[in-house]
Amino acid sequence: MVVISSAVAAGAAVGGLNVLSGILEYQGKKQDYVNQVAYKQASDEFARWSARQQASQADINNQYKFWQERINYGQSLAHTNQLRNYELSTAIANAEEVARARASAGADYTQTSAAYSEAFRQEAMADAVALMQYKVQALKSRSSIAAGMTEGKSIDRLINDYSRQVGDFETLQNINQGFKGRQYSDKQAAAISQYLNQYNNQRFYQQKEYEDPLPPFAPLPTLISAPGPSMVGSAPSFGAALVGSVASGVKAGFGTYGALS
């Protein structure tokens, strides 16, 4: 029968406790590693979910802002078109007013010019009639003298005197006609100048140019930011833990045995 001394038993007990303690420590490290890996996976998944949520919220905000900008753009475009319509209606009304004013100026010129022409024609006709009557009267006087007197210097002088008077009257008539012609030309030129002045004083309305407002640009999708990298240490080795525990147990057992023997 083999008898085990107390020193050997104590050493074996201490060594076994050390081995058991090493194994339990390995189990604790393994569980801690599992917990860290699970926490890392949950953290990474939450970071991805949070990034997606933030991007979705940013897209919603951008779409809402774009919708507001579209409304503002539509209002600005409508206001611009109203201004253009006002400018167009003003230009049309002004063009009609200019046309009426210029037509009135043309009618006034036509009437004035016709009145000047008619007056000049009547004066020329009156002068021609007066000259013809003067010649007829002179001819009658010459005929009376020729019928009532004998030939001689006296009758020739009287006849020549009537002829000279007729020539003088005709010369005066021609001078007066030239003067009236210049007056007529001056009046016609003044009428034309007045017509052109009234015509050119009527200015067409210059429309203002309005540019369309710039339309808003549709927002681009928000980029999802990748979560930052995270790292977990390597898993504990069972073999290394077992070897370390056994070596520690053996050392502790021999130490205890040596102390008790």
Alpha-carbon torsion 153, 158, 160, 161, what sign?
A: positive
- Distance from C-alpha of 211 to C-alpha of 213, rounded to nearest angstrom: 6
The full set of domain ranges for the chain reads 6-211
Looking at residue 1, its pLDDT comes to 37
How much is the mean pLDDT over the chain?
74
- Distance from C-alpha of 74 to C-alpha of 67, rounded to nearest angstrom: 11
Share of the chain above pLDDT 70, in %: 61
Indicate if the pLDDT at residue 88 is higher than 80: yes
The residue ranking higher by pLDDT, 176 or 119, is 119
- Distance from C-alpha of 202 to C-alpha of 96, rounded to nearest angstrom: 11
Q: Report residue 158's pLDDT band, with 50, 70 and 90 as the boundaries.
A: low
DSSP 11-61: HHHHHHHHHHHHHHHHHHHHHHHHHHHHHHHHHHHHHHHHHHHHHHHHHHH
154 burial (CB, 10 Å; 0-12 / 13-18 / 19+) is: exposed
CA-derived radius of gyration, the chain: 66
Residue with token string 């050392």: 251
The residue ranking higher by pLDDT, 44 or 21, is 44
pLDDT digits (tens, 9 = 90+) for 93-109: 999 998 898 888 888 88
pLDDT digits (tens, 9 = 90+) for 218-227: 888 877 666 6
- Distance from C-alpha of 212 to C-alpha of 163, rounded to nearest angstrom: 88
- Distance from C-alpha of 38 to C-alpha of 53, rounded to nearest angstrom: 22
Q: What count of residues does the chain have?
A: 261
